[in-house]
Structure 1
Amino acid sequence: MSHDLSKMAAPMLFQHSRGFILLCYTSLRYRSKSTLPTPGPVKSKFLQYLCDRFYDIETIVDFGKRLRLWNAQRKNRYNIQAKNYFGENIAAAVFVLALKGSIRLRGKTEWEDQKGGLVFLQDKDTCLEGANLSGSIINYDGLDNLVNQRNLKQLDLSRCPYIDDWSLSRLHNFADTLQELSLAGCPQVTERGLACLHQLENLRFLDVSDLPSVRHKELVRILLEEMLPQCHIVGMNYPEGVDLPLDSDKHGGEIEEEHQGGAGSQKKREVSI
């Protein structure tokens, strides 16, 4: 009987002392952690504030992105009122200046910006020969304000964050006049957009430097030289070990000779690359 009572008392004793054991373990664990350096009160409050406001900060950042996109869309709208009042040419010039760009008018060599005033508004026959929109927020819709400019010779779209492949597909409207084009530093331009430039038959200068979304730049340069043999292309170099001329005019002449020589010369060139 006594043996049975001892067997029953052991688990009961463990059950009643379980809370005491847990308390001792927690106390020892707290003492071991208390030896570590704790962050200061200012840092602790700042970290706690970030934890509490994490979702608020994420919401604010998202709202800021949407606000910038909305502002870009607003400023790129086609200005019908300016077109009806001033005419297509002057409205295009006003649009470029509104995006903090600069313009070059027909018959002039100097570039004008907002600081120079809007004296050209008095001349109804004013038309653009050059538009510098470098670093602006112009996008696909904003090109509606320029596509009817039939005298545009120079267009600078370098470092424009919203210029993409779809935007480049609209440049065919300048096929008869555009001579100089800069797309340097446009993060959204890819090979597909550059392929649309084959319609710019009068292009003489093309800057395609610093395009992070374009892969195999040396092959893209060969493609551009095939499409635009009369154009001087800068910004994409051939890989080391490839002995090809960098002069676009000479290269254009060699392209014509290869086409006359048939497919054999073209295959030979591909093997050498």
Structure 2
Amino acid sequence: MYRFVRYLVQQNSVLNWPETASIEPRITICLMHNNTATWWNPEREQFLGCDLAIAHFIIARGGAVRFCDIDHWFECEEYGKVPNTVPNIYHDGYKLEAIDASNTNIMYCSFDNIEPVPTLKYLNLSNCKYIDDWCLDRLSSYRQSVEFLDLSGCPRITERGLATLHKMSKLKRLRIENMPKVCDTPLIGLMLEESLPGCIVDGVDYDTNLNEGVDQQPEAAESFENYEKKLLSAIQSEMTGRYFPTSNIRF
């Protein structure tokens, strides 16, 4: 058993465990990283196509997705099962535009199943306990499409991971509140807004003493929730020319 665990730790060097760390958390996390439920399934993508393969993966793990030209979310009623309303064979009319993976157990290796698609503009990863700095580095794959990103409530993310988001040139709104491992959040927020001129960072408590004379744009900015609604509405209007109602849970 020890040799097996040691092998898993070596294979998961991304975790970057310190030598003094206890073996118990290594066992738990490494086994989860090697759970077959998170492995990439090439047959699924070949059979469904990239967009629907991602949808099946996210929905089966408790998340939700939305497609272009369809004004509602698809989510599972029972964990692990994809509803019959989602095609189980390739259909070129289903193009992914939004992923809500909040409160799910997705982790670094899960992104092998979430390839970048050009129509994806909305990505919610809030309150995901296994999302860490290494995961954020992989988000650069979505830099040409994602405009909205919610990372709030992710306990493993640090300022080092947030710094990698400067690559996401299309980003217009970023939420980073309630992230206990992030140091100097106001400074990180200002640096990201400087490196991403078109992006507003939400969830940052900007201290007026941080940098006297700095334009406090976030205080006067449109609320995060209103922007979230408008973004998804604009996406839908752009695709179909019609407005759809919003809900208090997902927009």
The TM-score normalised by the length of structure 1 is 0.63
| Counterpart check, 1:229 vs 2:184 | no
Q: Distance in 1 between matches of 2:118 and 2:34?
A: 25
Q: Distance in 2 between matches of 1:227 and 1:164?
A: 21
Letter of the aligned partner of 1:204 in structure 2? K
Q: 2:86 aligns with which of 120, 123, 134?
A: 120
Letter of the aligned partner of 2:52 in structure 1? I
Match of 2:182 in 1: 214
Match of 1:76 in 2: 38
Question: Counterparts of 1:55-66 in structure 2 under 5 Å?
Answer: 66=27
Letter of the aligned partner of 1:199 in structure 2? K
The alignment partner of 1:120 has SS state of: coil
Q: Which has the higher contact order (CA 8 A, sep 6+)?
A: 2
Q: Summarize the Cα distance change of 1:177–1:70 in structure 2 as closer, same or farther, 3 Å threshold.
A: same
Match of 1:160 in 2: 128
Q: Summarize the Cα distance change of 1:63–1:221 in structure 2 as closer, same or farther, 3 Å threshold.
A: closer
Q: Distance in 2 between matches of 1:124 and 1:226?
A: 41
CA offsets 1:38-58 (integer angstroms, 9 cap, x no match):
xxxxxxxxxxxxxxxxxxxxx
The alignment partner of 2:74 has SS state of: coil
Match of 1:177 in 2: 145
Unmatched runs of 5 consecutive residues or more in structure 1: 1-61, 252-273
Structure 1 moving runs of 4+ over 6 Å: 62-65
* Deviation of 1:138 (Å): 0.7
Q: Summarize the Cα distance change of 1:219–1:110 in structure 2 as closer, same or farther, 3 Å threshold.
A: same
Q: Distance in 2 between matches of 1:101 and 1:79?
A: 18
* Deviation of 1:181 (Å): 0.2
Match of 1:247 in 2: 217
Q: Summarize the Cα distance change of 1:98–1:64 in structure 2 as closer, same or farther, 3 Å threshold.
A: farther
Mean Cα displacement is larger for which, 67-76 or 107-116?
Answer: 67-76
Q: Distance in 2 between matches of 1:170 and 1:145?
A: 12
The alignment partner of 2:149 has SS state of: strand
Q: Summarize the Cα distance change of 1:238–1:250 in structure 2 as closer, same or farther, 3 Å threshold.
A: closer
Say which one has the larger Rg.
Answer: 1
Q: Percent of counterpart pairs with the same letter?
A: 30
The alignment partner of 1:170 has SS state of: helix
* Deviation of 1:109 (Å): 2.9
* Deviation of 1:223 (Å): 0.9
Q: Distance in 1 between matches of 2:170 and 2:219?
A: 13
Contact 1:231 1:249 in 2 (8 A): no
Contact 2:146 2:171 in 1 (8 A): yes
* Deviation of 1:250 (Å): 9.0
The alignment partner of 2:182 has SS state of: coil
Letter of the aligned partner of 1:247 in structure 2? Q
* Deviation of 1:216 (Å): 1.2
* Deviation of 1:172 (Å): 1.2
Unmatched runs of 5 consecutive residues or more in structure 2: 1-22, 222-251
Q: Distance in 2 between matches of 1:64 and 1:224?
A: 32
CA offsets 1:49-94 (integer angstroms, 9 cap, x no match):
xxxxxxxxxxxxx879845753454222112221122122211100
Q: Summarize the Cα distance change of 1:149–1:211 in structure 2 as closer, same or farther, 3 Å threshold.
A: same
Contact 1:79 1:91 in 2 (8 A): no
Higher share of residues assigned helix: 1
Q: Distance in 2 between matches of 1:144 and 1:239?
A: 39
Letter of the aligned partner of 2:61 in structure 1? L
| Counterpart check, 1:108 vs 2:70 | yes
